[in-house]
Amino acid sequence: MSSALASSTKFRTFAVVFAIAMAVIYVVSELVRLPLFSYHPDNDRFDFGWVSARKDEGPAMHWYGWVATSLIAATVLGLLATLLPERVTSKIPLSLTWIVPVLLTLFLIYSLSFFWRW
């Protein structure tokens, strides 16, 4: 199983697209408030999509929802990419798998500027 995956060009395509899509979709879902669900830890309640904290009910958590959104969407995109012909998928630069997360890290540092204050 593991050696079959390691020699599979389709798995390579999936992995490349998954890596790029996961980072991009995670950042986009965070920026435009697209978590799959919101979790309210004080009363253990889940809501679909983005729901703000309610008065006297403690904070709302969206990180789990962002992770879920990006995992599902990146998996779907990765699987769809495996349907494309190899002559197309082999042209996706491997270097994008680390360049995209590095660039998005810089963007995230900027986007967190609310916290960089004295």
Partner 1 sequence: MQTVDFLFDYIAVETFWTILLIIHGLLAVALLGALTHQAMAVAMPVRYAGNDSFVTRFRAVLGPRYADAICVLWIITFMFGAWIYIKYRIHIRVPIEQQGYWKTLGVFELKEHLTTFGIGLLPIYWYLWMNPKHPAYDNARKWVTVFLAATCWYAFLIGHIVNNVRGYAS
Residues interacting with partner 1, by CB under 8 A? Answer: 2-3, 5-7, 11-12, 14-16, 18-19, 21-23, 26-27, 30, 39, 41-42, 44, 58-59, 61, 63-64, 66-67, 70-71, 74, 94-95, 97-98, 101-102, 104-105, 108-109, 112, 114-117
Q: Which is nearer to partner 1, 84 or 104 (CB)?
A: 104
Distance CA 41, CA 47 (A): 11
Distance CA 116, CA 110 (A): 9
Least separation in angstroms between CB 107 and partner 1: 10
* Least CB distance to partner 1 at residue 76 (A): 14
Contact 92, 17 (CB under 8 A): yes
Centroid of chain to Cα 103? 15
The distance of closest approach from Cβ of residue 85 to partner 1 in the complex, given in angstroms and rounded to an integer, is: 19
Q: What residues contact residue 34 under an 8 Å CB cut-off, 6+ apart?
A: 28, 49, 50, 66, 69
